[in-house]
């Protein structure tokens, strides 16, 4: 059994990383607080959607607009990106080298961008089929929730690009390590939110 000390929820770098392992304790606690505040934001938007899902004002509803095939592809892309980010985190922890770390991060970025591309396509298709956000309370709530999550993923992709740039310039220094740990939590959090969206919005909407 490993004697490694677990200092905080999420990936722990381990004693081999010295002071960087200790610094992550305080830094990641603060980031967990941020994620909880973001969870409250998503909770409020979910509540708005659930209470408005039947307020179609005679316009199209979920069965008329949702494309489960596209959403399923988006789900697979985001779940796969969570796996590849996990592999990047392990490459960082066990010091597998910069090439492997950047490689996993690059694959994660490609999957994240693919998710955004499919989501934008689906939203534009909905608007083209008469599902613009101003059409009803249901669509207004829908376009509050889904693009909010998409903007979070886009912010994560930008953050990821910045981290790869930092690795290229500074190597795997303390700021890069802590940045990857925080972004990993953020990315996996968005995966959990998307699973809730897939279940509550799309599957329930088409049931």
* Burial degree of 176 (CB within 10 A; 0-12, 13-18, 19+): buried
Indicate the pLDDT class of residue 17, thresholds 50, 70 and 90: low
Q: Return d(Cα 95, Cα 14) in angstroms, integer.
A: 11
Percent of the chain's residues with pLDDT above 70: 87
How many Cβ atoms are within 10 Å of 206's Cβ, its own excluded? 12
For 123-143, what is each residue's pLDDT tens digit?
Answer: 999 999 999 999 999 999 999
Q: In this model, does residue 15 exceed pLDDT 70? A: no
Global pTM value: 0.89
Q: Give 162 or 12, the one with higher predicted confidence.
A: 162
Q: Looking at residues 199-206, what average pLDDT do you find?
A: 95
DSSP for 186-204, please give it.
HHHHHHHHHHHHIIIIIIH
Q: Return d(Cα 198, Cα 77) in angstroms, integer.
A: 13
Segment of 90-99, 166-175, 187-196 carrying the highest mean pLDDT = 187-196
Q: Return d(Cα 169, Cα 38) in angstroms, integer.
A: 31
Q: In this model, does residue 89 exceed pLDDT 50? A: yes
Q: Give 7 or 85, the one with higher predicted confidence.
A: 85
Domain ranges of the chain: 15-206
pLDDT of residue 94: 84
Best CA proximity match to 181, nearest among 37, 79, 31, 38: 31
**C-beta separation of 183 from 81 below 8 A:** no
Q: In this model, does residue 120 exceed pLDDT 60? A: yes
Q: Return d(Cα 14, Cα 20) in angstroms, integer.
A: 9
For 46-63, what is each residue's pLDDT tens digit?
Answer: 999 999 999 999 999 999
Best CA proximity match to 45, nearest among 145, 159, 192, 151: 145
Indicate the pLDDT class of residue 2, thresholds 50, 70 and 90: very low
Q: Who contacts 7 (Cβ-Cβ below 8 Å, separation ≥6)?
A: 21, 22, 24, 25
Class of 15-206 per CATH? mainly alpha
E strands within 2-108?
A: none
**C-beta separation of 189 from 35 below 8 A:** yes
- Overall residue count recorded for the chain in this entry: 207
Q: Using alpha carbons only, what angle is made at residue 53 by residues 155 and 151, rounded to the nearest 5 degrees?
A: 5
């Amino acid at each position: 059994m490993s004697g490694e000390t677990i200092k905080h929820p999420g990936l722990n770098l381990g004693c081999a990383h010295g002071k960087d392992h200790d610094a992550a304790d305080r830094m990641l606690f603060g980031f967990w607080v941020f994620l909880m505040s973001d969870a409250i934001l998503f909770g409020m938007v979910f509540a708005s959607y659930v209470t408005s899902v039947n307020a179609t004002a005679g316009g199209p509803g979920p069965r008329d607009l949702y494309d489960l095939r596209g959403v399923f592809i988006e789900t697979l892309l985001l779940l796969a990106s969570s796996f590849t980010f996990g592999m990047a985190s392990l490459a960082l922890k066990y010091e597998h080298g910069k090439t492997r770390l950047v490689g996993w991060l690059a694959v994660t970025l490609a999957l994240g961008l693919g998710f955004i591309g499919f989501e934008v396509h689906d939203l534009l298709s909905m608007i083209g089929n008469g599902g613009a956000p101003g059409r009803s309370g249901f669509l207004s709530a829908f376009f509050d929730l889904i693009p909010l999550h998409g903007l979070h993923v886009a912010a994560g992709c930008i953050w990821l690009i910045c981290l790869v740039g930092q690795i290229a310039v500074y190597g795997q220094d303390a700021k890069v390590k802590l940045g990857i740990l925080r972004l990993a939590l953020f990315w996996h959090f968005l995966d959990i939110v998307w699973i809730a969206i897939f279940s509550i919005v799309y599957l329930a909407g088409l049931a």
